[in-house]
Structure 1
Amino acid sequence: MTDAPKPMSKAAAKAFITALANEYPNAESELVFRNPFELLVSVVLSAQATDKSVNKATKDMFERAPDPQSMAELGEAGIAQYIKTIGLWRAKAHNVALLCEQLLARHDGQVPSDRKSLEALAGVGRKTASVVMNVAFGSDAMAVDTHIFRIGNRTGLAPGKNVRQVEDGLVARIPKDMLRPSHHWLILHGRYVCKARTPECWRCPATKWCLYPDKRLVDPKSKAA
């Protein structure tokens, strides 16, 4: 595996992020939700699962239980019936049922907007809390998933041995006014272009600033290759 490059400069990071902003002007979460509660549940369910699989499972579940009270009434067994197609569904059903009870007991059924309260809920870690804070409440929180962790290290945007180091690097280098939407730009870029096994550098708008030493600038399927 190629070692991660040194961190790019703040000027390069701004140019890199600006290129992604121009590439994905309408970027938003690919999870389907109607309110902070549905977003919270969806993000909890999305661990080690695709957004597409989560959306498929939650469509009927949210029609049946659109709020913490009705979800809590479904209970762990009832929730499980809707999400069996998702990985780790047993643990997730347990966590969703418990977090609904916690929302009712601690927050009058409302999703809190602060990190401490969110991370105190069942199944909610730093990444999940950051997504909810960013998407539902407009916070500048940077949620680092596998895609963003990979991009941070591969490109030099924010190298780090763990997700917190990458998060801190992104917060330090990305201009504050671009921090919140950059979460979506980076996820989409990692999902569709800067892929795990074979980054499609020939489609990347930010190759000029990327420090990845093994760029593939020509599509191997093209005549030019």
Structure 2
Amino acid sequence: MDRNLVGKVALVTGGASGIGRATAIEFARRGAAVVVADADATGGKETVSYIETNCDARAMFVGVDVTDAVSVEAMIRSTVEHFGALDMAFNNAGVPDRAASLHVSTQENWDRVMSVNLEGVWHCMKAELDQMLLAGKGAIVNNASRSGLVGVPSDGVYGAAKHGVVGLTKAAAIEFAGKGVRINAVCPGLVETALTRARFGDELAARAKLANPLGRMAQAEEIASAVVWLCSDAASFVVGVALPVDGGATAR
């Protein structure tokens, strides 16, 4: 196993399940100490327990509400107090669009999706940058989506938030690359997680077959591999990309 992240400290928001859990585990397998942050304490602590038992790495759980700047700042303080640094961050926490159509979406749905998926990334980036700029180095990856690159029917509000994440990523990447901080985004397509199973139910298998040229869903570990690569020195000249990890869906 490549342990090229030994001595590094990684933060993952939304680390209690799905892509976040898989990424936290992959960071740990590569040797990083990992902060698993989430509003779900039970799931977050399960991720930490798995890492400590199976990955020969240190990990801790921090409860966070990414919509609250004070909570996010406390998360960063806890990270640095416990592990002494913050080298890498994956801003992954997000919620789905509950509306099947933009036409029937509600103000409540808009506010929820925007506050978590877009404003939450902004809060996290600001607090992470405070620490990374002091250190003169760091890598941030934001979780956008295929819906942040192209228009996806039924994802109007979600897609608007994820397009915003891509815009934030690119602007910040240009602003801070010269100060030692690399910022990129991943844009997953359909990924097999509890969230997608709950959202699509019996339609999931059919959607997966049509989703992309590979004819299947991604596994969370496939997204995790891309995130960890973007954070590693192997991607040292990669700045400001919104990387599709979607089985070729956006290549059509």
TM-score over 0.5 for the alignment?
Answer: no
Flag the structure with more relative contact order, 1 or 2, with Cα contacts below 8 A and sequence separation at least 6: 1
Instruction: State the TM-score, normalizing by the size of structure 1.
Output: 0.27
Instruction: State the TM-score, normalizing by the size of structure 2.
Output: 0.25
By percentage of residues, which structure has more helix? 1
Rg larger for: 1
